[in-house]
Amino acid sequence: MMWQCPKCGREFQKTNQDHYCGEPANTIDEYIAAYPEEVQLCLNQVRETLRIALPNAQERISWRMPTYWNKKNIIHFAAFKKHLGVYPGDKAIEHFSEQLADYRTSKGAIQFPYSKPLPLELIAEVAEWCCKSID
């Protein structure tokens, strides 16, 4: 049995699945605007960090997530109820496993809880590493 979100109509395996719940965003601005203000603050911090770390990348929405792209997807991020997800891929997570020891990781994603200050320098370092490693 699939669960259908009554607000956005998307279907999920898990009841009350935490997800992006709004009109599909076409831009990162639209994506960020769909969240409460305190979440927007975190999203904007990460966006600024990634813009500086990846000066040659384009911003776009891919897989329904804010994405940095330069011929290929470099890194994505996404907001959840209690954490921000950053998606650098499995290889990056393996490479940074010591620095990420305090965070939950799964399937190419790292979870940064809103309750802790975001490790922006580490996020920049991961993004730069992804950028160098995609080609």
Among 8, 33, 41, 52, binds Zn ion (CB under 5 A): 8
Position 21 contacts Zn ion (CB under 5 A): yes
Q: Are 114 and 79 in contact (CB under 8 A)?
A: no
Decide whether 10 or 95 has the Cβ nearer to Zn ion: 10
Among 5, 25, 120, 134, binds Zn ion (CB under 5 A): 5
Which are the contacts of 50, defined by CB distance < 8 A and separation ≥ 6? 57, 68, 75, 77, 123, 124, 127
Grouping H, G, I as helix, E, B as strand and the rest as coil, residue 71 is: coil
The distance of closest approach from Cβ of residue 14 to Zn ion in the complex, given in angstroms and rounded to an integer, is 13
Position 25 contacts Zn ion (CB under 5 A): no
Which tokens go with 118? Answer: 């975001």
Which chain residues interact with Zn ion by CB under 5 A? 5, 7-8, 21
